[in-house]
Structure 1
Amino acid sequence: MRRLTYGMNVSLDGYIAAPGDDIGWSVPSAELFQWWSDRVVDTGGALYGRKLWETMSSHWPTADQQPGVTPAEVEYAHRWRAMPKVVFSSTLGTLGDVDENARLVTGDAVAEIIRLKAEEGGPLEIGGATLAAAAMRAGLIDEYVLATAPVLVGAGTPFFTALDDWVDLRLVETVTFSEGVVLTRYETRR
């Protein structure tokens, strides 16, 4: 069975975006950016909610052609375009709304994630608060990765959703990056 990882940059008070979907506080250092980029190499596919898809697909398809682009950004853009992606949305509506090696799922997200996890292939990454919350509530997430920035944003989009039951986790890695960002990886105990 394929592993499913939910990982994002998060504020110290637990948000992935401040009010108004502001993520300006979460711009990664060069070393953290490289850490995230290196994960893409081993990823068998990315699962995106609509909002995160719109953010990623508005930038990365042509990021390597922008003025002032760094070699790391060029590398990530190439990796991102090559990685298979599944976009979950009931509002995008048509297959023409996704591209860049992606396909659209408009039906039951949990059922599709279960099907994808049962397929052969590399590990899966899930992103987007609403989509990840559905997978979290269904007990489908095998690993949580939090790149915690030393900032309090006070409100916004939380990384975690409310759960009916506890989820026991085991710490598997801690890395401290420049500017005080602490990355922690936890596996779900089953």
Structure 2
Amino acid sequence: MDSTYTIIIADDHPLFRNALFQAVHLAVSGANLLEADSLDTLFSILSREEDTDLVLLDLKMPGANGMSGLIQLKSNYPDLPVVVISASEEASVVSQVKKHGGFGFIPKSSDMRELVAALHQVLRGEPYFPENIKLNTAQADSLAEKVATLTPQQYKVLSMLSDGLLNKQIAYELNVSEATIKAHMTAIFRKLEVKNRTQAVILLSELNE
């Protein structure tokens, strides 16, 4: 395969990053491989590497909560193929990855042969989703559709809510006023069709199960 691919491995576990590194080298000899151990690092690399061909993204790493990393990536880089690599292999998670624009889903339980085959497929421009995971559940789709209407900033606020932060703490973290956070909350509740923060947090937890 072409050796000019630039691929970013975004995962905060060094051991798994190393396994992915080996799999990518087996699939694409001589690829330009970059590593990110947090969402901030990933965006920093992307700002420098404008010709990135593929991002391999772990859903759970610093700066990401559930689908937030994928949502922010697709919002900022709509044309960039993002393949999620996750230990969560439930059909609802795979469904959400597909719904939010993921180009593929590779379970962390995959062996090296499966990893290499999946990478070959996505680099040919064909999405990869495991055949043994049945995508469905109208309820998960409905929840995902509602969450997909949130802006990246609103999703960030919702994620911080689910972490138990108060309005003033969220305002401090995001360097905005409390009034701005309240405006975000109003918009979040309306889009998710809930009445309060408790219902919003429950809904997010259902989505991330």
TM-score of the two chains, using structure 2 as the length reference: 0.30
TM-score of the two chains, using structure 1 as the length reference: 0.33
Larger helix proportion of the pair? 2
Say which one has the larger Rg. 2
Instruction: Give the number of the structure with larger relative contact order, counting CA–CA contacts within 8 Å between residues 6 or more apart.
Output: 1
Larger strand proportion of the pair? 1
